[in-house]
């Protein structure tokens, strides 16, 4: 049965709880344990799938098709453990399950209350698959004291009480603000935040204190005394040059040791940090830099393309170069010349997106990359735009468009090169959708296989002709146009196994131009960069040598 580590936060939000959880997970793996990480989010959306990237950053999709919080991306990138549908839950999902049960009469006429019905539902969620791993790390979103978070805090309190002693511990992240005027780190907000936790029956075992300055021994002792934790369990978290230094930095500060001590695991297995030392070396020993443009719509909020940015960093690590990512707003050249905005980049990436805004700019970015031989990676919408560009400007289908936009724009006559997919095959069964389905969870979601053409660029990049990648989209490139586009050199080099859905396109007479209908960025890791990002950065390096 798993040991549970509950991770909570106090004082302010955005302290890096997700990162601390992920880094701790990787350190426990380094000591030979198996782990799984989970996120419990107090908001009322059933999942983040319907939230705007401006609100919530990227939606991270799992193999089994769940649309989850971007912290699950961190968990996967640090531990390599593929997240599942059952690793992410929100108040919305919990309440909707409770209400469904109530309607079905499952509660046998009882009055339904937060305690015990909602808290029981949360506890059931925590227990799923608990026999499978040595450690289950559960992060509670938000900050202690938030009204919405209370049922979750109450549930983890009860959960730890239900388990045998010593099977659950609590780790709390706080902030030590620095007052420049007096040159001091202040511990009072941490004391208050721990008091808040204690008032709901939770006593932290480990405190992780974010600080911009070294924590003096005296302050550490004071925090330990006032917060009722052991001095060694007050762990410092300093700012880092790269998030991938976090496992080594936390290890140095004694986080994994403090956690094992809290479980009274003695002697603690020795850690093997080879992977993270190698990652550290690749970040700090680079030769040169490439400049890559991400041409998108949500450029004000970098979290909207979190996994893409990380995957590019991984590609830089495998090629031992620094990758400088610049965000270019596609709307700037929706109806203007793209060249002044795109010149000088060693490669161009057009990421996924929804809705018409900025798409004309993205089409121009694909055209620019094709004509100027600049390496191009089109992801999901970025592939669809590349196909529309090819149809309009190369194959002579002047009105080529996508049903996603032209449909909304009053059904003008156009060539639907990209159409709304209404039925497809997943594994052994057929999935059907209609245009007026709910917006939540109704896309082609999760892992699907693709067959790559022998001899294609993409087969070379993957070193394989059979792949499996994660999807999140409603629209598809229409196979009807394959023959025509291929006759002009746009090869459909990856297809769904039944041959009906184009998964990958590439220009055969271009140094590196690949569009993919899926999201390769979701599977990239610092210690195992995704082949497409490795290849794309390599092509950028080659291009940088030419200019």
- Active site members: 380, 519, 521
Ordered strands of the 400-402 beta sheet:
400-402, 415-420, 475-477
Listed in sequence order, the DSSP H helices in 397-462 are 403-406, 457-462
Smaller CB separation from ligand GLN, 204 or 353: 353
Phi-psi region of 483 (alpha: psi -120 to 50; beta: other; left: phi over 0): alpha
Query: Per CB under 6 A, does 354 bind ligand GLN?
Result: yes
- Category of 333 on φ-ψ map: left (φ > 0), alpha (ψ -120 to 50) or beta: alpha
520: contact with ligand GLN by CB under 6 A: no
As a whole number of angstroms, the distance between CA 401 and CA 439 comes to: 22
The least distance separating ligand GLN from the CB of residue 338, rounded to whole angstroms, comes to 20
Which of these segments, 41-49, 101-109, 472-480, 482-490, binds ligand GLN (CB under 6 A)? 472-480
| Cis preceding linkage at 273, omega within 30 | no
CB distance 167 to 206 below 8 Å = no
| Ranges within 165-194 binding ligand GLN (CB under 6 A) | none
Q: Where are the beta strands (DSSP E) in 371-489?
A: 376-379, 400-402, 415-420, 423-426, 429-432, 444-452, 466-473, 475-477
Residue 18 Cβ vs ligand GLN, minimum distance, rounded to whole Å:
22
Phi, psi of 305 (to 5 degrees): -120, 35
Task: Show the beta-strand stretches assigned E in 340-428.
Answer: 347-350, 376-379, 400-402, 415-420, 423-426
Q: Which stretch binds ligand GLN (CB under 6 A): 176-184, 278-286, 348-356, 361-369?
A: 348-356
**Minimum distance of ligand GLN from residue 352's CB (angstroms):** 3
**381: contact with ligand GLN by CB under 6 A:** yes
Among 125, 305, 475, 513, binds ligand GLN (CB under 6 A): 475
Q: Which of 74, 473, 510, 525 binds ligand GLN (CB under 6 A)?
A: 473
CB 285: neighbour CB atoms within 10 A? 8
User: Whose CA is closest to 234, among 153, 173, 149?
Assistant: 173
Query: Which residues in 245-288 belong to E strands, given as ranges?
Result: none
Q: Which stretch, 268-276, 346-354, 387-395, 495-503, contacts ligand GLN (CB under 6 A)?
A: 346-354
We find the least distance from the C-beta atom of residue 384 to ligand GLN, in angstroms, to be: 6
Residue 474 or 510: which CB sits closer to ligand GLN?
474
Residue closer to ligand GLN by CB (options 381, 505) is: 381
Q: Segment contacting ligand GLN (CB under 6 A): 89-97, 150-158, 219-227, 468-476?
A: 468-476
- How big is the chain, counted in residues? 547
- Rounded to the nearest whole angstrom, what is the least distance from the CB of residue 475 to ligand GLN in the complex? 3
Choose between 2 and 61: whose C-beta lies nearer to ligand GLN: 61
Cis check: omega of the bond before 478, within 30 degrees of 0: no
Q: Which residues pair with 61 in a beta bridge?
A: 67
Q: How far is the CB of 478 from ligand GLN (least distance, A)?
A: 12
* CB 334 to ligand GLN: min, Å: 17
Which of residues 78 and 475 has its CB atom nearest to ligand GLN in the complex?
475
Closest distance to ligand GLN from the beta carbon of 41 (Å): 21
CB-nearer residue toward ligand GLN: 10 or 49: 49
472 sits near ligand GLN (criterion: CB under 6 A): yes
Q: Extract the tokens encoding 161.
A: 């009480």
Binding ligand GLN (rule: CB under 6 A), the pick from 352, 416, 494, 526 is 352
Q: Which is nearer to ligand GLN, 190 or 307 (CB)?
A: 307
CB of 417 to ligand GLN, least distance (A): 12
Binding status of residue 474 toward ligand GLN by CB under 6 A: yes
Taking the least distance from each CB to ligand GLN, the nearer of 95 and 354 is 354
Helices (H), 204-254: 217-227, 246-253
The answer to the question of residue 92 lying near ligand GLN (CB under 6 A) is no
Using CB under 6 A, pick the residue from 321, 380, 504, 505 that binds ligand GLN: 380
Contact 511, 294 (CB under 8 A): no
Q: Assess contact for 517 and 471: CB atoms under 8 A.
A: yes
Q: Which residue carries 């991984």 as its tokens?
A: 314
Q: Which is nearer to ligand GLN, 243 or 308 (CB)?
A: 308
Q: Per-residue contact track with ligand GLN, 323 to 342, x per CB under 6 A?
A: --------------------
Q: Give whole-number Cα distances, 463 to 67, 455, 470, 520, 532, in Å.
A: 29, 10, 19, 15, 11
The CA–CA distances, whole Å, from 375 to 41, 198, 352, 529 equal: 39, 55, 17, 18
Q: Which residue is nearest to ligand GLN (CB)?
A: 352
Task: Burial-class residue 373 by CB neighbours within 10 Å (0-12, 13-18, 19+).
Answer: middle
Q: How many binding residues for ligand GLN (CB under 6 A)?
A: 10
Listed residue (409, 342, 406) closest to 373, CA to CA: 342
Torsion, Cα 142 308 321 29, to 10 degrees, reads: 50
Binds ligand GLN by CB under 6 A, chosen from 87, 196, 219, 404: 404
Q: Which of residues 118-157 bind ligand GLN (CB under 6 A)?
A: none
Q: How far is the CB of 288 from ligand GLN (least distance, A)?
A: 31
Structure tokens belonging to residue 207: 């405190």
- Our CB check for ligand GLN shows the closer of 74 and 471 to be 471
**Residues making contact with ligand GLN (CB under 6 A):** 352-354, 380-381, 404, 472-475
């Amino acid at each position: 049965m798993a040991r549970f580590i509950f991770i909570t936060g106090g004082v302010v939000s955005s302290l890096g709880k997700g990162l601390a959880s992920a880094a701790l997970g990787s350190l426990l793996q380094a000591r030979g344990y198996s782990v799984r990480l989970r996120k419990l989010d107090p908001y009322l959306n059933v999942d983040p799938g319907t939230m705007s990237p401006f609100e919530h950053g990227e939606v991270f999709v799992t193999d089994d098709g769940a649309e989850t919080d971007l912290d699950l991306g961190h968990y996967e990138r640090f531990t390599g453990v593929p997240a599942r549908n059952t690793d992410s839950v929100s108040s919305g999902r919990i309440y909707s399950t409770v209400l469904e049960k109530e309607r079905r009469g499952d509660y046998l006429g009882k009055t339904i209350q937060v305690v015990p019905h909602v808290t029981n539902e949360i506890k059931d969620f925590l227990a799923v698959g608990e026999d499978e791993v040595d450690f289950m790390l559960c992060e509670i979103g938000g900050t202690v004291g938030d009204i919405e978070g209370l049922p979750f805090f109450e549930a983890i309190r009860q959960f730890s009480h239900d388990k045998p002693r010593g099977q659950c511990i609590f780790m709390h992240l706080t902030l030590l603000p620095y007052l420049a005027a007096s040159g001091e780190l202040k511990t009072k907000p941490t004391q208050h935040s721990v008091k808040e936790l204690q008032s709901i029956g939770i006593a932290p075992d480990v405190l992780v204190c974010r600080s911009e300055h070294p924590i003096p021994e005296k302050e550490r002792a004071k925090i330990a005394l006032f917060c009722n934790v052991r001095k060694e369990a007050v762990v410092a978290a300093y700012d880092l040059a790269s998030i991938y230094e976090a496992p080594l930095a936390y290890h140095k500060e004694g986080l994994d040791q403090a956690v094992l001590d809290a479980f009274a695991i003695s002697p603690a297995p020795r850690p093997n940090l080879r992977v993270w030392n190698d990652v550290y070396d690749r970040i700090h020993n680079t030769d040169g830099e490439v400049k890559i443009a991400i041409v998108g719509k949500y450029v004000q909020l970098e979290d909207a393309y979190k996994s893409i940015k990380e995957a590019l960093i991984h590609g830089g690590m495998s090629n031992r170069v620094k990758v400088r990512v610049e965000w270019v707003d596609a709307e700037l050249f929706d109806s203007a010349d793209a060249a002044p905005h795109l010149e000088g980049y060693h490669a161009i990436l057009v990421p996924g997106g929804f809705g018409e805004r900025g798409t004309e700019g993205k089409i121009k970015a694909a055209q620019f990359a094709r004509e100027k031989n600049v390496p191009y990676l089109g992801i999901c919408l970025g592939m669809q735009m590349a196909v529309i560009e090819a149809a309009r400007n190369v194959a002579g289908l002047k009105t080529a468009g996508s049903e996603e936009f032209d449909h909304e724009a009053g059904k003008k006559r156009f060539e639907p090169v990209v159409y709304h997919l209404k039925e497809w095959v997943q594994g052994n069964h057929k999935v059907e959708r209609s245009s007026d389905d709910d917006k939540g969870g109704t896309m082609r979601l999760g892992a699907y296989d693709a067959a790559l053409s022998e001899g294609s660029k993409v087969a070379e990049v993957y070193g394989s002709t059979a792949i499996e990648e994660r999807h999140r989209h409603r629209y598809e490139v229409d196979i009807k146009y394959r023959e025509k586009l291929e006759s002009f050199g746009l090869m459909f080099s990856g297809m769904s196994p039944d041959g009906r859905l184009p998964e990958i396109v590439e220009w055969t007479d271009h140094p590196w131009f690949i569009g993919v209908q899926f999201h390769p960025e979701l599977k990239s890791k610092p210690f195992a960069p995704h082949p497409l990002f490795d290849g794309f950065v390599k092509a950028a390096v080659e291009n940088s040598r030419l200019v």
